Amino acid sequence: MTAVGFVGLGMIGKPMALTLARSDLDLLVYDVAPEPVAELEAAGAQAVGSVAELAASVDVLCVMVRDDDQVREVAREAGPGTVLVIHSTVAPDTPAELAASGLTVVDAPVSGGPTGAAEGTLAIMVGGTDDAFAAARPALDVLGAKVVHAGPIGSGTRMKLARNMMHFVSFTAATEAMRLAEAAGLSLKDLGDVVRHTDALTGGPGAIMLRETTAPIDPADFWHGVMTHVVALGDKDLGFAIELADQLGVDVPLARRARADLATGLGL
């Protein structure tokens, strides 16, 4: 049976650790805050007094702390020989930097928020060697419903950064749409309900992420017709939205940029 250690029992880390505690894996935990440690003990985990003690007692050490500096601190205390699974979103070069110090490192950032962490349905993007991935896999399979081995070390982090770039750019686009809706006298809560409902049906922005490349599409390719249709609809609807924004005096720079770039971005 794999023994798993977990460091960092915060907003995402605590529900991740509680999910591990409900599994058949042996779980040991450490955190500087006593309250979440006590909660994990009540759930069946074993608490230890230091990162070094934790690393010496487990097969895999999962880390979900705040930033790169805290990840490095955990790595230093864990010492060489540890299989370190970094769930924190760190700089692209940090995992390889830590691996160079003698650790076996898997960068495995997660997406899915507290709900996904609590339900064991996270998406986990993994970078590392095949052997390192195999060592971490028992814990990852408990934590995630979508575990993707993205490539060599650092690949999981790079995929997470690309995913989060879309996430936060979309948030900015949502604020632009909210300004337009508000100026038009619409309910922002109703708009939000519609967006969440339809994104659940269509897949949201991920619905167009189906090709293996961003290169121009050959006119004979199946996707040429699909994306041509998408661009035609997008150009029409963005045009109407921009026209409405101009009438209402609302600045919509992302909509203008999207209309200008949509065809090229989709490979046309």
Q: Which residues contact 193 (CB under 8 A, 6 or more apart)?
A: none
Q: N- to C-terminal Cα distance for the chain?
A: 52
CA atoms lying within 13 Å on the CB side of residue 2: 21
Select which of 146, 160, 189, 236 is catalytic: 160
Q: Specify whether 236 is catalytic.
A: no
Return the active site residues.
160
